[in-house]
Copies of this chain bind each other. A is one copy, B any other.
Amino acid sequence: MEFKDYKKLSLANDIVILTATDKPEDDKRKVPEKTLQILLIKRYEEPYNEFWSLPGGFVDYDKNLDDCAREKLYAKTGIKNLYMEQLYTYGDTNRDERGRVVSVAYLALVKKSDINIQISQKTDSSSASWFSIEPIRKTDEIVDVSLISEDGHLIVKDLAFDHKQMIIDALNRLQNKIEYTDLAFNLVPDFFTVKELQMVYECILGRAIQAFRRKISDKIKPADKMKDDGSAYRPAQLYKFDNKHSKF
């Protein structure tokens, strides 16, 4: 038994893939701040030819929704086990001029150190690139973003479809959830300093945090390693995530 065709429509995924990276810092003695980065794909077809867009594609009739998203994520990053959650479903009639397309957006968090260089190889006829995110806030809520490419240029054109709104929604989700979950640990290496973790929290929240060390002391445990990158002053203790009471 099947449904009549008039009821059917196209369903897509779009994935907001975020990572945290060091901001360039001239003074090499200072601990660099962090910025969020997002992976975007350049389109080479209409509509929105030559616009940047979120990685995504149509949902396969025979696959679970979550599995589809995870497969697309793997194709772009080469990582299998990483954090992903459903974000929101966008279903306005006019969001794709080719016809009715409803899109289920996902939010994924990756450690930059985990990413495979397969990225550009796997993507066919389209180029992928990381962009730094500069959120624009109104009373703590993110209402807009600027995106800056690795060579320092702003994206001047809008993004394809309603992808900018998806990014804004994803950033707000992350900003809210980071306060009561342990999502931030998906954005630092397995071994990290307290300061590094703090920089991740601060760039997501857009504000400084006091007494940070005390607030997360029960979520981390010291590793038998010290940071050793030559450029710093006093070397910092490296920690790892203590997932005794992890909350995702």
**A contact residues vs B (CB 8 Å cutoff):** 1-3, 5-11, 58-59, 61-66, 86, 88-93, 98-102, 104
> Are the CB atoms of B9 and A59 closer together than 8 Å?
yes
Q: Label chain A's interface by main secondary structure.
A: mixed
Q: How many copies does the complex hold?
A: 2
> Are the CB atoms of B11 and A61 closer together than 8 Å?
no
> Are the CB atoms of A89 and B86 closer together than 8 Å?
yes
Smallest CB gap from A46: residue in B: B1
Cα A5 to Cα B9 in complex, Å, equals 9
Q: What residues of B have a CB within 8 angstroms of the CB of A99 in the complex?
A: 1-3
> Are the CB atoms of A65 and B91 closer together than 8 Å?
yes
Cα A163 to Cα B86 in complex, Å, equals 18
Q: What residues of B have a CB within 8 angstroms of the CB of A10 in the complex?
A: 3, 7-8
Q: What residues of B have a CB within 8 angstroms of the CB of A88 in the complex?
A: 86
> Are the CB atoms of A102 and B59 closer together than 8 Å?
yes
A7 in contact with B61 given A1-B98, A2-B99 (CB within 8 Å): yes
| Most chain B CB atoms below 10 A, which of A3, A8, A66, A99 | A8
